[in-house]
Structure 1
Amino acid sequence: MLIALAQINPVVGDLEYNTGKILEYINKAGAARSDLVVFPELAITGYPAQDLLLNKQFLDAVEIKLQDICRAVGDTGVILGVPMRGNKGLYNAAALMYQGKLRDVQYKSLLPVYDVFDEKRYFEPAEVRKCIVFKGRRLGVTICEDIWNDKDCWNRQRYAIDPLEELVHQGAEIIINLSASPYHYGKYALRTGMLGKLAAKYQVNMVYVNQVGGNDHLIFDGSSVVVNKAGSLCQRLNKFTEDFALINTGELSKGEFNETGQEDIGWIYEALLLGTRDYLFKNGFGRALVGLSGGIDSSVTAAIAAAALGTDNVVGVSMPSRYSSEGSKDDAYLLAENLGIKYRQLHIDNIFKAYTELFNPEGRPIMDLAEENIQARIRGNILMFISNREGQMVLTTGNKSEMAMGYSTIYGDMAGGLSVLADVPKVMVYRLAEYINREKEVIPRNVISKPPSAELRPDQKDEDSLPPYEVLDQILKAYIEDIKPIDEIVAMGFNRGLVLDITRRVDTAEYKRQQAPPGLRVTSRAFGPGRRMPVAQHWHIK
């Protein structure tokens, strides 16, 4: 059987666009004389469609588009992800269409409610799993989570049933999985490793088609694969871009695909490019605005924006104060020159002086936290003024380490539409900078080598109030991503008092993070929907 893999980037809720994209790929598969073309999970609506799925008019429109697609299907069968109303409610469905008719349907059985997922809010689970017979072949059609419950792959099973096992026992010759699997660093290796184990265990070929694109905070890497019954990778589609491929299931035993997709920092970089580009474009923005401090975070953010949107569509604004070093001002200018983006410099000292004269008894700075924060808020106001007048989206520049510790200012450096580095720890920001500079110096070397500083008071350094980032990031990963207890983190070799101080600061900064703009997810547990913590709470280990 000749099967086409259609790895597409849908826009959530844009049924017209998504339908056009689907028809384009159906025609491409038909021109290649493929027997079947497979699309990702919920391809018509995009994933996740969230509470759009509670809207009757939206679901009515989905049904109309499904009928339009069905009428256009000829001798190449189509398996397409779509929300579908059934006897007991709404289902996450895989629909098989052939020669103008809806021939068969398989509903999703396993509905995740962990991490960023909340599918039981919208869908009913399938009650029956059955092979779909198409052109004489028995297809085991599954949807994303349905293949993630094998007892031999994981320490525990989340669900009482295993759809994959059932389908194989029914004689499935090929397992087809429609997926919308969001990316985080390490996900590709985890996913392909699992698919290889499953294929070898059940001696069955597996076709896995994943969505690609950025939808809000989630980034989908694509990286669709075909694995043969020996567990060897036979095909991998490109990462972080739309792609199309043909595979002949009769030729999958002819050797292993030459794997070149091992994850490195380049995957994080490409994920952030895609997430930034799609977030802006899918929200109707074509241009971005970045405050340039001359520091590492704003430099990396500006470089990502320039690569994602094009240099003509990025404006860098330097807003020095009396505490800004000459080196930082020079670095901001040099970065803009290296990137080829538009550059402006607007001094904030007169505005800052107006605040100190208004609020201080003697009309001069007294060097307290309020004065530090007002500088950040002045800069945030300037950026938002330019944004409102000229139509660019402001990209905030805070990283995960700073956000974790509350080392950020509400209505200041947190003001903006998207936080590009919100899930990138500080040490990884430096790795990204080196990656950006891999061919030539884009980010000035001084930006990378100088001690990080917010420059909100004389001679300020981050390590005045934070431990070294090499230490901090390890503790933060253990606490936030690995969800380790305090005692286990201490047993890793860290001072108990330091661990208690860091974790307490993480907990008490939750109110700030819940007022932050969306951040792009690239680790296994990001702030936001994947980490749902109460704001007003008093639990903490002593």
Structure 2
Amino acid sequence: MKYIQVGAGVLNQTPLDWDNNQKNIENAIIQARQQKVNILCLPELCISGYGCEDMFLAPATIAQSQQVLLKLASQTKDLIVAVGLPVSLQNRIYNTVCLLANGEIAGFVAKRFLAGDGIHYEPRWFHPWPHGVRSEIEIDGKNYPIGDIFFSCGGVRIGFEICEEAWVANRPGIELAQKGVDIILNPSASHFAFDKHVVRERFVLEGSRAFSVSYVYTNLLGNEAGRAIYDGDSLIASAGQLLATGKRFSFEDLYVISTSIDVDLTRMTQARTSESVPNLDTLVSVPFDYPQQIPQLPNVPLKSWEYSPNLKEEEFTRAVSLGLFDYLRKSRAKGFVLSLSGGADSSAIACLVHLMVELGSLELDVKGFCAKLPIELANTTTSADITHDLLTCVYQATKNSTKTTQRAASTLAQNLGANYLELNIDDMVDGYTKIIEKAIGTTLNWQQHDIALQNIQARSRAPSVWMIANINNALLLATSNRSEVALGYATMDGDTAGSISPIAGIDKHFLRHWLCWLESQGPMHLKPIPSLSLINQQAPTAELRPQSMLQTDEDDLMPYHLANVIEKAAIRDRQTPYEIFCLLQHRYADYNEEQLLIWVERFFRLWSRNQWKRERYAPSFHLDDVNLDPRTWCRFPILSGGFGRELDEMYTKARKDAH
């Protein structure tokens, strides 16, 4: 038996942050040595950062990446390390993994299958490497092999599937298995999306079984560049058996998981299943001596929050908490400011900041958590102290606000430990209104000027809360959710004002469900938040019309669960208004057909006229693969025909069906 210790290193990197990225890689190498790792796989483009965007096209980015690579190479004595970086060859940029072995550069594997869908734009910057081609690249006066290659390091064959390459039908692992590869390394920058971990685990296990290899998968961690969140997934499998997994959504800068693999065991399986003599034209041989290893027991967690029946709720909690934490510290802000209305959206965000502190303190302890913040917190001994110093909640009342929301906001802020302020903005609203009435010579009223009178209240809240954010040198958190993004049910420069919009990627229907879960149960290892009952018992309302008008969001729009179904059918599945009407007719037979027609038309009208708003929303977190952010997934023209013909056809066909 030939035992080798393999490791997967997870890193929280930042685009173009050369010193920090190099330090994290160096510390991962130190951890790997402590765990007696022979072969260490680090994430895709971990030297430069994955989210460099158009800076990948800058020569300085390539030059800096190579400088860091040369420094790292010298630190790999008696070790094999795979690191990701962009390289330039013949005036083309390639996404590569460099294999460092025993202090030297062994060669570069260039990515063949680029990620160009969803939030990914790799083909904008990189060229796909042609299949089966091997070339050479000069770095610092020396030539190294590059291309579609694999390695023999001390007789152990190592191949690569780089992130997207494991997700395609013709994955490179098929050919690597035919070449007798012992170990496949998968360095990834795979953004978080709900339930994605299950898919990754499946292709790692199936790859190790089908290819008769050991498979090492590692991923980036945290909010790397602003929008995408990486969960730090790491998996090691051999011959269809999961040997080691790492924790997801960690607040650490890095960690390494490792385990022993039996190379001879997978070779015996290959000997039984191999059908052809392998082509070795792209093999690069590297001398390397493996120390004799004592087998390490598998490191598979037996129980964690991953097994919670409320997995989506747990993933949402941990992803956004980590996303907020990294956004805070990487932007070097001193905290958060939130306009807390006492409704579901702003209350959810306040809870997420609280959970960020609780989860981070639970993992790192209070002292360790504070050490990672860009602010020195005085007299901080508990997680509640941290929340008070980091989060300022501002309730901004008008004459249309109710005691219900005021009580809900103040109680929640107090129970979370946040700093809480109350302002009355009636004088500002009245002042703006009187200025306009004098200018146009008309007294404004709710019958003729409904939208204007609502919006001036929402916009009057922005200057005050921005001022508090500026005084605190803090990030202002915008409160719009995904359902409002789809329907444009938000006031530009009002509730959309902010530096980051944490919940713009999640729909209102799920948010309300999540708040009820948080009230009664909450994340594993943390306490629930009973004071959310004051929020959960309310019908969602903007509270911008007089109280006598009994305003609710769903009266203005449609039931939120219905809006969610229409949005997915229209935007994700690209169905026509008539097809969606038929879907709703089948699924929601209790609703009047005329009402369903009105709601479908309302969605398409509001969607098409409000693209300009979606273009102006503050950055939001990417939480699934079909978000509405035009800068990461869903592009739609600002000016369009508004689905006029399609809506006419819907009414014509629906009425014909009725007869």
Separation (CA, whole Å) in 1 of partners of 2:605 and 2:195: 28
Structure 2 counterpart of 1:106, which letter? V
Q: Which residue does 1:45 correspond to in 2? A: 48
- Of the candidates 86, 90, 95, which is equivalent to residue 83 of structure 1? 86
Q: Which residue does 2:564 correspond to in 1? A: 473
- Of the candidates 400, 408, 416, which is equivalent to residue 490 of structure 2? 408
Identity over aligned pairs, percent? 27
Q: Which residue does 2:158 correspond to in 1? A: 139
Q: Which residue does 2:256 correspond to in 1? A: 244
1:23-63 CA-partner distances (Å, limit 9, x unpaired) = 01101112222111110000111112111111112221111
- Alignment gaps of 5+ in structure 2: 134-147, 267-296, 358-385, 522-526, 586-595, 648-659
Report the CA distance between 1:409 and its aligned residue.
Answer: 0.7
1:95-174 alignment runs, 5 A limit: 95-127=98-130, 128=133, 129-150=148-169, 162-174=171-183
Structure 1 counterpart of 2:209, which letter? A
Q: Does 1:12 pair with 2:100?
A: no
- Of the candidates 339, 345, 350, which is equivalent to residue 297 of structure 1? 345
Alpha carbons of structure 1 residues 346 and 256: separation in structure 2 relative to 1, 3 Å: closer
Alpha carbons of structure 1 residues 171 and 94: separation in structure 2 relative to 1, 3 Å: same
Q: Does 1:264 pair with 2:312?
A: yes
Structure 2 counterpart of 1:46, which letter? G
Separation (CA, whole Å) in 2 of partners of 1:147 and 1:408: 40
Q: Which residue does 2:381 correspond to in 1? A: none
Q: Does 1:537 pair with 2:619?
A: no
- Alignment check: 8 A CA contact 1:181 1:210 kept: yes
The TM-score with structure 2 as length reference comes to 0.77
Report the CA distance between 1:484 and its aligned residue.
Answer: 3.7
Q: Which residue does 1:157 correspond to in 2? A: none
Alpha carbons of structure 1 residues 18 and 442: separation in structure 2 relative to 1, 3 Å: farther
Q: Which residue does 1:227 correspond to in 2? A: 237
Separation (CA, whole Å) in 1 of partners of 2:40 and 2:200: 22
- Alignment check: 8 A CA contact 1:33 1:76 kept: no
Report the CA distance between 1:180 and its aligned residue.
Answer: 0.3
Q: Does 1:286 pair with 2:334?
A: yes
Which deviates further from its counterpart, 58-67 or 127-136?
127-136
Report the CA distance between 1:196 and its aligned residue.
Answer: 2.9
Separation (CA, whole Å) in 2 of partners of 1:272 and 1:136: 44
- Alignment gaps of 5+ in structure 1: 151-160
Separation (CA, whole Å) in 2 of partners of 1:162 and 1:364: 65
Separation (CA, whole Å) in 1 of partners of 2:232 and 2:181: 25
Separation (CA, whole Å) in 2 of partners of 1:57 and 1:387: 35
Separation (CA, whole Å) in 1 of partners of 2:473 and 2:497: 15
Report the CA distance between 1:162 and its aligned residue.
Answer: 3.6
Displacement over 4 Å in runs of 4+ = 251-260, 361-365
Report the CA distance between 1:282 and its aligned residue.
Answer: 1.2
Separation (CA, whole Å) in 1 of partners of 2:573 and 2:249: 26
- Of the candidates 201, 204, 207, which is equivalent to residue 195 of structure 1? 204
Separation (CA, whole Å) in 2 of partners of 1:286 and 1:385: 14
Report the CA distance between 1:388 and its aligned residue.
Answer: 2.1
Structure 1 counterpart of 2:636, which letter? M
Separation (CA, whole Å) in 2 of partners of 1:479 and 1:135: 55
Report the CA distance between 1:347 and its aligned residue.
Answer: 0.5
- Of the candidates 530, 535, 550, which is equivalent to residue 447 of structure 1? 535
- Alignment check: 8 A CA contact 1:90 1:123 kept: yes
Alpha carbons of structure 1 residues 227 and 488: separation in structure 2 relative to 1, 3 Å: farther
Report the CA distance between 1:249 and its aligned residue.
Answer: 1.4
Q: What is the DSSP-based 3-state SS (H/G/I as helix, E as strand, rest coil) of the residue aligned with 2:424?
A: coil
Q: What is the DSSP-based 3-state SS (H/G/I as helix, E as strand, rest coil) of the residue aligned with 2:617?
A: coil
Separation (CA, whole Å) in 2 of partners of 1:446 and 1:106: 56
Separation (CA, whole Å) in 2 of partners of 1:443 and 1:250: 54
Q: How many residues align?
A: 531
Alpha carbons of structure 1 residues 203 and 210: separation in structure 2 relative to 1, 3 Å: same
Which deviates further from its counterpart, 353-362 or 339-348?
353-362
Separation (CA, whole Å) in 1 of partners of 2:601 and 2:211: 47
Q: Which residue does 1:330 correspond to in 2? A: 407
The TM-score with structure 1 as length reference comes to 0.93
1:217-240 CA-partner distances (Å, limit 9, x unpaired) = 11111121123322x433221111
Q: Which residue does 2:554 correspond to in 1? A: 463
Structure 2 counterpart of 1:65, which letter? V
1:172-211 alignment runs, 5 A limit: 172-211=181-220
Report the CA distance between 1:487 and its aligned residue.
Answer: 4.2
Alpha carbons of structure 1 residues 344 and 407: separation in structure 2 relative to 1, 3 Å: same
Which deviates further from its counterpart, 483-492 or 260-269?
483-492
Report the CA distance between 1:264 and its aligned residue.
Answer: 2.7
Q: Does 1:514 pair with 2:623?
A: no
Report the CA distance between 1:197 and its aligned residue.
Answer: 3.1
Which deviates further from its counterpart, 479-488 or 424-433?
479-488
Separation (CA, whole Å) in 1 of partners of 2:462 and 2:535: 22
Report the CA distance between 1:143 and its aligned residue.
Answer: 0.9
Separation (CA, whole Å) in 2 of partners of 1:81 and 1:216: 20
- Alignment check: 8 A CA contact 1:110 1:146 kept: yes
- Alignment check: 8 A CA contact 2:173 2:211 kept: no
Separation (CA, whole Å) in 1 of partners of 2:65 and 2:12: 17
